Structure 1
């Protein structure tokens, strides 16, 4: 598509430059002896009422047809973007007035507005350009208003206002750079629409006026004899469609380049960032999910960062596994990769990935989406953004079961009531007819759990579902997750920063650092059986109610590794008090200390005295 768009635009650019030079004289030279001729060898498209060659006029008018369309689009974009962006930097009353004004402008069809202002400004190419600029400005204003609304409420805008920056500086430095990309894409596509609209105005006699001409006027003149000689009318129409499609294709290419998606694929030839883990994994007929050497790559300008580097994990049916680690360790991206929800541009690879007994890499995209939609569910950290604020709770609860199971609406609503009652919410019509913003944070999180349970999934990924909730609601949410696990034999991958909560609720704990699993151990052994220095530091940073409030809790010190770095050795090297020379040269492999405990460390710490193991035990794996 990109090659086609560039070739079409290049041909238009060449014709626009050389057309008036090569064919301009022939296009304006009358020939009384060849008036209104049909297509001949000397005149492939025929001649007009003055005997002028129509092919020459068609080619010579490329510049006069394209330039007004580009000019009108740029003028309309400049006016609309300025109007829409102002809504992000003005006060509340002015913002509402501007919004109402934009809504009023959008109430009128753009073509009718263009025709009205073309008459007002006077027939001619200049009047048509200004008329079309006025007509397309409201569309740009609405798009900019929507995009700027997402910037207006950010912390950096608030900080800029506190600094007393003037509005023009807020627009230029803080608003427009964040909304420029979609506006540029929309402008490119709008040029094609403007070309068609301007040709329509010329066709109606409101655009180019003789002796000037463009494709729209040529189309109007050729229409008079379309039943006897169709080529004089068809050829300008083809030129208009050709140029319009060229700009539309360019917009599509630029949009795909900005939001290109890389579907998950098997790992083939990618340089390994670390040795493949060789530790033991749960096995048996109840194995639900198995992933080996999962990696995620994200483009970041001129480099690629790899926040997930060789994660291997497995979950049994009915098992709750905790995934803990610092912010930036790759926990959420791992979960998103498992659910095929990675952000645009991200690419996931693996050496093995099986879910519900099927090889995920061998499935088609449609099969993979259906398997994940029916067998896996996610509970997001922020239910306020996870739910669509424009849809009612009833719609969002029943949408998946109706789409994938094909059950009637009444039956789906009844299932939604049952699931709401299951999470201790009244399944009454009032709640079902509510929208997410009408519920409290705890209610939204309960509804999120109910939504995750609607499909009776085999696996639920809970990405920090108790964050920002008070301790009482946290306890209730954890009780609900335990109930879902017990009643439906659902496996749960529980992601959290709360070490104490994970140790209390989960069967196993996976500790993640620098994009990989550094330790896997039973949850009951987390407090006194951790062997990796990083895990031991995480546990030590948890303070109890009886801790000395005057003393500072032990910290990790330093900073997590750069996800775009390529330094060899252990990612925890700079922060580890137990480091060896070997740690700087080789990445440790996740190896078994016992049948239920694995650690990726060349010098594991001895177990603490309370673990019941001898202090002298040492492992040199």
Structure 2
């Protein structure tokens, strides 16, 4: 399609530039001896009532036809985009007035508006261009208003307003750059429609007037003898269709290129590490993942935020996943739940859920297994629910879709789950919409909705981060209750190391896109063997900390997810690094029962107590 579009646009450009030069004189030269001739060898399309060659006039009219269409489109786009974008930077009353004006303008058919203003401005090329610009502006305004509404409510717009930026600066720097791409695509497509509309105005006598001419006027003149010589009328129509299709295809090609831009880079996955033979196998595992890797292509490079994650969860077990921001925790959870964004590439050595291998299952089977056996609780409950649907609809749709549960029975199950999470309100709460509930209520509703299917695995991605300590305690109690009552495995992702140590059975410590330590939760504070885990725990303040001294931090930053540096990812920040760590990446190895660590020189347990550990970590 791209090649065809370029060929069509190239031919139009050549004709527009060379048409008037090569055929302009022949197009304007009358020949009284050849009036109203049909197609001949010397006049392939025939002649008009003055004996002028119609093919020459058709070719030389390319420049004016395209110029008027592009001019009308640009004028309408500028006016409409300005009107629509203003709704994002003006006050509430002005925004409502502008919205009402746009709705009023859209109530009238664009072609009738164009005909009205063409008659008002006067017949001619200029009047037709301005008339069509006025008619097309409301469409551009509505699209821009919709796109700008998504930008107007962002935090960076609020911050810009707090800084006191003027409206024109808000418009040019903060609104239009974020919506420019779809507007450009829409403008390109609109040029084809503008060409057809302008030709229609000229055909009706409201557009280009003699002695000038465009394709619409030629079509009108050829229509007088269409029954005897159809070619003089058909040829301008073919030219109009050809040019309008070229503009439409250009918009489609640009839209497709924009959609594929994030996937243009070919992903070449690095060599997969061999599976560890010392990992114990268990038939009671709900989830088993080995060597999970994720690649996110961008315009100029490939980001690899997850580089070999291995984990397993048993039934009824709560496992914590901790690590710094950017270590790959949330992307690991999304890959497990098959919710990675478009363009992301996930590979693994082993991926079994409820005993079924992901490679041997069809996509339909895997989707159904994930829908019925796995649930996810997101960090922000405000965005996890559809604001236009009631709570009851969103809680019951899964059991009705996958289990065929009747509506009344599904409502009773939803009420039981709400009572289980200590949310009063009954049917009134089910009739509520998400924005009518507080953050803690929405999070508890999210847990209740996740429990509707009685899943075997719940992935809780920082479900307590935005909550106060009281509601946080309630959420943790709910997760513990679900875990014990339903024997549900829970993967609990959090930055709160102390909370994870208190609530979970095991802790997975993640750094640089891989698991660096797997240990029992009760050993996290006094039994960590990896230097990163030790320093992560030491950075958590406690009641015995010296308040006169600054809080401990881990110097440096995490590794670049775009790089491919060999060796241990924690090498640059580790106070106990060896020469081997710079060239050889450690493998997660078993040190003790239920305790694995990826380190060539694990820290000895003797240093875990007393002042010596503190002194060594600070060094």
Query: What TM-score results when the alignment is normalised by the length of structure 1?
Result: 0.86
Q: Which secondary structure does the structure 1 equivalent of 2:605 belong to?
A: coil
Q: State the 1:521 CA deviation.
A: 1.8
Residue equivalent to 2:375:
377
In the other structure, the counterpart of 1:618 is none
Deviation at 1:574, TM superposition (A): 2.0
What is the root-mean-square deviation of aligned Cα atoms in Å? 3.5
Asked if structure 1 preserves the Cα contact closer than 8 Å seen for 2:418 and 2:426, the reply is no
Q: Once the two structures are superposed, what CA deviation does each residue of 1:249-297 show, in whole Å capped at 9, x if it has no partner?
A: 332333333333879x9x985234x845637556344444333332223
Deviation (angstroms), 1:525: 2.4
Q: Which deviates more from structure 2 when the two are superposed, residues 597-606 or residues 302-311?
A: 302-311
Which of 476, 479, 492 is 1:478 aligned to?
476
Distance in 1, Cα, partners of 2:364 & 2:196: 37
1:289-336, Cα deviation, whole Å (9 max, x unpaired): 333332223345533322222222233444332211111111112222
Query: 2-side partners of 1:197 and 1:443: how far apart?
Result: 55
Match of 2:200 in 1: 200
Cα distance, 1:533 vs structure 2: 0.9
Alignment-derived partner of residue 269 in structure 2: 270
User: What residue in structure 2 maps to residue 110 of structure 1?
Assistant: 110
Q: 1:414-429 alignment to 2 at 5 Å?
A: 414-426=412-424, 428-429=426-427
Of residues 447, 467, 470, the one that matches 2:465 is: 467
Runs of at least 5 residues in structure 2 that lack an aligned partner in the other structure: 614-619
Q: Does 1:141 align with 2:141?
A: yes
Within 2, Cα distance between the matches of 1:428 and 1:75? 56
Residues 17-416 of structure 1 mapped to structure 2, 5 A cutoff: 17-29=17-29, 48=48, 52-222=52-222, 231-260=231-260, 269-272=268-271, 275=273, 278=276, 280-281=278-279, 283-361=281-359, 369-404=367-402, 409-410=407-408, 412-416=410-414
Please say which of residues 223-232 and 462-471 is displaced more in the overlay.
223-232
Task: Name the counterpart of 1:443.
Answer: 441
Tell me how far apart the structure 1 counterparts of residues 224 and 357 of structure 2 sit (CA, whole Å).
64
Distance 2:226 2:452 in 1: 61
Q: Per the alignment, do residues 581 and 142 of structure 1 end up closer, same or farther by CA in structure 2, a change over 3 Å counting?
A: same
In structure 2, how many angstroms separate the alpha carbons of the residues matched to 1:58 and 1:413?
Answer: 69
Question: 1:260–1:344: 8 Å Cα contact kept in structure 2?
Answer: no
Higher alpha-carbon deviation: 108-117 or 41-50: 41-50
Q: Deviations over 1:390-436 (max 9, x none)?
A: 33323333444455556665555454444433433346443233221
Residue 464 of structure 1 and its aligned partner are, at CA, apart by 0.7
Instruction: Kindly indicate whether the alpha-carbon contact (under 8 Å) linking 1:322 and 1:508 is maintained by their aligned counterparts in 2.
Output: yes
Shift in Å at residue 345 of structure 1?
Answer: 4.2
State the alpha-carbon separation in 2 of the partners of residues 169 and 597 from structure 1: 57
More deviation, 433-442/246-255: 246-255
CA contact (8 A) 1:394 1:413 kept: yes
More deviation, 232-241/319-328: 232-241
**Distance (whole Å) between structure 2 residues aligned to residue 375 and residue 236 of structure 1:** 63
Work out the CA distance in 2 between the residues paired with 1:89 and 1:181.
Answer: 20
**Stretch deviating more after TM superposition (364-373 or 330-339):** 364-373
Aligned equivalents of 2:410, 2:237: Cα separation in 1 = 51
SS for the counterpart of 1:260 is helix
Q: Name the TM-score, length of structure 2 as normaliser.
A: 0.87
Structural mapping, 1:493-572, within 5 Å: 493-545=491-543, 547-572=545-570
Q: Could you say what secondary structure the match of 2:478 adopts?
A: helix
How far apart, in 1, do the equivalents of 2:276 and 2:539 lie?
A: 30
Q: How far does residue 382 in structure 1 lie from its aligned partner after superposition?
A: 0.8
Asked if the contact 1:529–1:608 (Cα under 8 Å) also holds between the matched residues in 2, the reply is no
Structure 1 gap ranges (5+) = 616-621
CA-to-aligned-CA distance 1:542-561 (integer Å, 9 cap, x gap): 23345444444322122222
- CA separation in 1, counterparts of 2:413 and 2:237? 56
Residue by residue, what CA displacement relative to the aligned partner does 1:451-490 show, whole Å, maximum 9, x if unpaired?
3334444433221111111122112222333344344444
1:584 to 582, 585, 596: 582
Counterpart of 2:192 in 1: which secondary structure?
helix
Query: Is the 1:105–1:138 contact (alpha carbons within 8 Å) kept by the matching residues of 2?
Result: yes
Q: CA deviation at 1:123?
A: 2.4
